[in-house]
Amino acid sequence: MVVHPSLSEDALDRLFHALADTTRRNIVARLMGGEHATVSSLASRYEMSFAAVQKHVAVLEGAGLVTKHPQGRERIVRGNPEQLARARVLLAQLEQLWSARFSQLDAILAEPSRRTP
């Protein structure tokens, strides 16, 4: 089985911070959707400087949401769905805490009626 190393608090900070920006979420969506992307081709899609987009990509890379692969003078940027999944799993675990609040009470209520001893 494949081991899913859990992320440090610091890595989680970077991961959610990377997702907390419209432009960066948009870039992630493009990449996950399979758009062939160099830093330049990404930059051409947004109303901001090349350097600004470059910084956004660096933030995504630091969060592990994206990888860069040199190819000649270009850098191909690819999405990393596993990191996205780790963030999703953490949220699911937090939700699980919520539902766990009631599971014991549910069990008691679901129990076939039995007089208290």
Partner DNA sequence: CAAATATACAACCATATGGTTGTACATCCT
Partner DNA sequence: AGGATGTACAACCATATGGTTGTATATTTG
4 binds, among a second copy, DNA, none (CB under 5 to 8 A by kind): none
User: In whole angstroms, what is the distance from residue 57 CA to residue 52 CA?
Assistant: 9
**Helix ranges, 44-117 (H):** 50-62, 81-110
Q: What is the DSSP letter of 76?
A: E
Chosen residue from 5, 9, 107, 113 binding a second copy by CB under 8 A: 9
Q: Please report, as a single letter, which amino acid is at residue 36.
A: H
Contact of 27 with 60, CB cutoff 8 Å: yes
Q: Which is nearer to DNA, 48 or 91 (CB)?
A: 48
Instruction: Give the residue from 47, 35, 110, 23 showing the smallest Cα distance to 77.
Output: 35
54 binds DNA (CB under 7 A): yes
Q: Please report, as a single letter, which amino acid is at residue 52.
A: A
Chosen residue from 11, 12, 19, 23 binding DNA by CB under 7 A: 23
73 binds DNA (CB under 7 A): yes
CB of 74 to DNA, least distance (A): 4
- The size of the chain, in residues, is 117
Binding site for DNA (CB under 7 A): 17, 20-21, 23, 38-41, 43, 48-52, 54-57, 59, 68, 72-75
Binding site for a second copy (CB under 8 A): 9-10, 12-17, 19-22, 25, 28-29, 32-34, 79, 81, 84-85, 87-88, 90-92, 94-95, 97-101
